[in-house]
């Protein structure tokens, strides 16, 4: 079969399961769910961003491309970074 005809799963969780196995797939799921923790003052933004990222990873292997990694890390770290004046 030609390489261009080989299909990979279009789901980040399925792709991780196939490529890395069950233990590391569970780690990805736990890390994805860890973003849903409550952060005072920004809880709704973190929740919405996390929900969008989890849904996006269900329909696309977004962590396999550079733009997907940028979007995931930028928004996650943006909402989780301390604000000026926070003690």
Q: Is 24 within the bounds of a domain?
A: yes
Q: Is 51 within the bounds of a domain?
A: yes
Q: Which residue range(s) make up the domain with 27?
A: 9-80
Q: Is 60 within the bounds of a domain?
A: yes
Number of domains the chain is built from: 1
Determine how many CB atoms are found less than 10 A away from the CB of residue 72: 20
Retrieve residue 4's tokens: 């261009």
**pLDDT single digits (tens) 52-78:** 888 888 888 777 778 878 887 887 788
Q: Residues of 27-54 as b/e, b for ≥16 C-beta within 10 angstroms?
A: ebeeebeebeeeeeeeeeebbebbeebb
Q: Is 16 within the bounds of a domain?
A: yes
Q: What is the pLDDT of residue 16?
A: 86
Radius of gyration of the chain (CA): 15
Q: Is 2 within the bounds of a domain?
A: no
Best-predicted range by mean pLDDT among 22-26, 37-41, 54-58, 76-80?
22-26
Judge contact between 11 and 58, C-beta under 8 A. Answer: yes
């Amino acid at each position: 079969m030609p390489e261009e005809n080989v299909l990979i799963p279009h789901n980040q969780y399925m792709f991780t399961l196939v490529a890395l196995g069950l233990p590391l797939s569970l780690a990805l799921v736990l890390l994805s769910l860890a973003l849903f923790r409550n952060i005072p003052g920004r809880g709704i933004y973190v929740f919405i961003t996390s929900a969008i990222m989890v849904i996006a990873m269900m329909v696309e292997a977004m962590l396999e491309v550079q733009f997907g990694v940028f979007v995931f890390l930028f928004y996650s770290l943006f909402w989780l970074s301390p604000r000026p004046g926070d003690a």
